[in-house]
Amino acid sequence: MNFVRFRERDHIAYGIASDGEVEEISATPFLPFEPTGITHELQDVKILAPCLPSKIVAIGVNYRDHAKEMGREPPEDPMFFYKPSTAVIGPGDEIVRPPNCELLHFEGELAAVIGSVARHVPKSRWQEVVLGYTCAMDITARDLQNKDLQWGRAKGFDTSAPLGPWITTDIDPSNLELVTTVNGEVRQDSSTEQLIFDIPALVEFVSSYITLLPGDVIMTGTPSGVGELTEGDKIEVAIEDIGTLAATVRGSHV
């Protein structure tokens, strides 16, 4: 099932997308809901980021090949940082280069969307708290990341967290192909089976430190092939069984 959040004129709602249509539901996917019978053509609505996270927990250096290209040893424990709710944009929106950034990088990632309050969730019960999956980009001001001790601005600036196009439920996330293209050229092509820490392990580890709320997002990390974005670039992250998330790059915040 694909849960989509969308705007139709002044109206924002959640719905279930299939066959080019979306049927509105009576609440969010994080609450009990009923189908309403109200349908729209998907092409007639603006698809928004599929959730409004209180926080994004992003995992660093979680693919073996990416650790190698960054010259880092695979970590002993998952390493996580935060991207704020205000970093989120939706499908087709613009990534805006932040101030003082000369090296803007893309990272295509699989994201898990939390469906219910998660605190001290053992690995064996991860499925009880994950609603589904979406495509994500962890857009990074690489020069600022290398310069700063904390990554607050380098990975948390406005527009640095494209999410979408929807939350796909009932799929196995353990072996999904992930392909990132820039202007149609393949730059990352890997599989989630290359993850150092898989989603059950991440749910257990992260929820042992912080409470995850419905709508929160875990970005699982990026494979090798990260690279530079420049003004006008079109970036797409396609994940098997989910779909494709696209964004374009604007050169400057002014």
Minimum distance of Mg ion from residue 106's CB (angstroms): 10
Comparing CB distances to Mg ion, the nearer of 138 and 216 is 138
Considering only CA atoms, which of 171, 162, 237, 224 is closest in space to residue 199? Answer: 171
Binding site for Mg ion (CB under 5 A): 107, 138, 222
Spatial separation of the C-alpha atoms in residues 206 and 112, rounded to whole Å: 12
Comparing CB distances to Mg ion, the nearer of 42 and 163 is 163
Which stretches within the chain are classed as H helix? 64-69, 142-147, 152-156, 199-207
Minimum distance of Mg ion from residue 94's CB (angstroms): 20
Comparing CB distances to Mg ion, the nearer of 107 and 216 is 107
Spatial separation of the C-alpha atoms in residues 71 and 146, rounded to whole Å: 13
Spatial separation of the C-alpha atoms in residues 81 and 171, rounded to whole Å: 26
Q: Which residue is nearest to Mg ion (CB)?
A: 138
Minimum distance of Mg ion from residue 230's CB (angstroms): 19
Minimum distance of Mg ion from residue 104's CB (angstroms): 14
Comparing CB distances to Mg ion, the nearer of 219 and 242 is 219
Please tell me what DSSP assigns to residue 119.
S
Question: From its phi and psi, is residue 112 left (phi > 0), alpha (psi between -120 and 50) or beta?
Answer: beta
